[in-house]
Structure 1
Amino acid sequence: MYRETLRDGMLQAARWAARRPFAATGLYVLLVSALFLVLPQLDLWASGLFHDPQAGFFAQDEPFLRRLRHLGPHLVQLVAGACVTVLLVKLLLPGRAPLLPLHIPLFLLSTLILGPGLLVNSLLKNTWGRPRPNMVESFGGDMPYVPVWLPSGWCDTNCSFVSGEASSGMWLVGLAFVVPKDWRLPTLAFTVPLCLLLSVNRIAFGGHFLSDTLLSWGLTLLVLLAVHRLLFVAPPAWARDAALDETLTRAGRRLQERVVRAALRGYAAARRFVAMFR
């Protein structure tokens, strides 16, 4: 009876989260924040799993894990580069149809800038001042442990709260928002484990606490959901594919006209220069 009640409750919670993903993610962020504010020792325990008092954080001496750390940024650059290429091709060849519906690169680039870029790396990591695990006294450093959401002056820039790698990993999971329906499960089957590996890897390096990772996932997912609603669910007139196509087409044609005018001016200047020596 207890198991059936628990199962039914979990199913109802899953259905509610599926119907209200933004509210569910916001609740997740609140619950994770409350958990680590009440039980900060969870952070120290999780980091301690990867730390030896004599050798330090073991991942720092593992070549494979060091290479794994760079996989996430490379994939992010690859996806972002593909998005920029789609927009540039449309801008340089305005008469042709875009390679992809233009709301897709707009979604991916805007969420990358707003989530991992502005919210995580610029606002939180550079202003909150939370020392990384390898900086705190419990793991051989000289700084105190600082709880989540508590601004401090112990770290000046590029600090622990929250995790940039975890944010980038969750952003890659966001590819499932834009791929065709038949590709969503395979996309999630690749990006979710990758996000977990990249995030745990940073904990193993002593670069982030568990709370940094869990909160980074939630905050980045909030950005993805908000922008997805704006561009996919209830897009304003300017964000619809036809309007985006028209905007880039006009911009591309203006660019072409300016290039032609600049080329003609250069040609005329070259002719005048040559005439001086006749």
Structure 2
Amino acid sequence: MPAVAGLVAVVSLFFLAFPAVDPWASGLFYFGEQGFAAQDNAFLRDVRHLGPFLVRVIAVTCVAVLLLKLLVPGRAPILPLRQPLFLLSTLILGPGVLVNLVLKNNWGRPRPRSVEEFGGDLPFQPVWKITDHCDSNCSFVSGEASAAMWLLATVFLLPASWRRAALGFLVPLGLILSVNRVAFGGHFLSDTLISWGLTLLVILGVHYLLYRKTPPLVSDQELDEWFTKRGRTLQRTVQRVLIRGRRLMRGAVRMFVDR
């Protein structure tokens, strides 16, 4: 974690010291009257949707694992419950809260396609500078780059023999998805690099609390017991509601028949 935090600091200081690097990098994909032409490429647009699709699939699977344990508390969970907890918590805290709610909605950095250098009407702003040039869903930092980095959280949970293959797929995919955002004029290079670092910090922090800390913040057994207890409480509640519902229905039928 300290190494990643240091890397985020170094990248931030670099772009603060040399802010012209951002418009230079975006300018590589800008073609005058055509603008950021890559955004008109159908294949690249389709590739862009792959990242969010994979995030949704993983998130829905995690929720399903937890719900299944809650609904069928007497059975062992499909996966150790720390795994879906780790993935969901890092997704919520990283791409969800830190990136989208805190940074993108409050820092006000205009996107490349909105600044004067690339045909827009807003002034270019450096990293970490809070402005009012953008109200929400702004350029700093990249949400899709954050989501691409979050996909690497799955590697932490894989057997060691699978990790190299997973990295061989996810790292190039994350690079493509992130470069896509720069090529489309949606984010500056610094937005992407800092987003990667911040998201990785969240992943490492949660992984430490759940897996490396002794004792961990919560164990698989504790989670299993918690969901089992809540699941059985839910079952009893549902049974009581159904019994009351049947009684009400019988009462209503009797009233109707008596008339």
TM-score, with normalisation over the residues of structure 1? Answer: 0.91
Instruction: State the match for 1:107 in structure 2.
Output: 86
What are the within-5 Å matches in structure 2 for residues 1-278 of structure 1? Answer: 22-234=1-213, 236=215, 239-278=218-257
Aligned partner letter, 1:57 = F
SS of the equivalent of 1:277 reads helix
Aligned partner letter, 2:11 = V
User: Percent identical across equivalent pairs?
Assistant: 60
Shift of 1:81: 0.4
Q: Aligned partners of 2:51 and 2:176: how far apart in 1?
A: 10
Name whichever of 103-112 and 173-182 sits farther off.
173-182
SS of the equivalent of 1:97 reads coil
Residue pair 1:163, 1:208 contacting (<8 A) in 2 also: yes
Q: Aligned partners of 1:239 and 1:177: how far apart in 2?
A: 17
Ranges in structure 2 where 5+ consecutive residues have no aligned partner: none
Residue pair 2:210, 2:217 contacting (<8 A) in 1 also: no
Q: Aligned partners of 1:94 and 1:261: how far apart in 2?
A: 18
Aligned partner letter, 2:78 = L
Ranges in structure 1 where 5+ consecutive residues have no aligned partner: 1-21
SS of the equivalent of 1:123 reads helix
Aligned partner letter, 1:26 = A
SS of the equivalent of 1:239 reads coil
Shift of 1:234: 1.1
Residue pair 1:237, 1:243 contacting (<8 A) in 2 also: no
* Gap change, CA 1:253 and 1:227, over 3 Å in 2: same
Deviations 1:35-86 (A, max 9, x none): 1011111111110111011110011211111111111111100000000011
Name whichever of 60-69 and 206-215 sits farther off.
60-69
Q: Aligned partners of 1:137 and 1:238: how far apart in 2?
A: 49
> Which has the higher relative contact order, 1 or 2, with Cα contacts under 8 A spaced 6 or more apart?
2
Q: How many residues are treated as equivalent by the alignment?
A: 257
4+ residue runs over 4 A deviation: 235-238
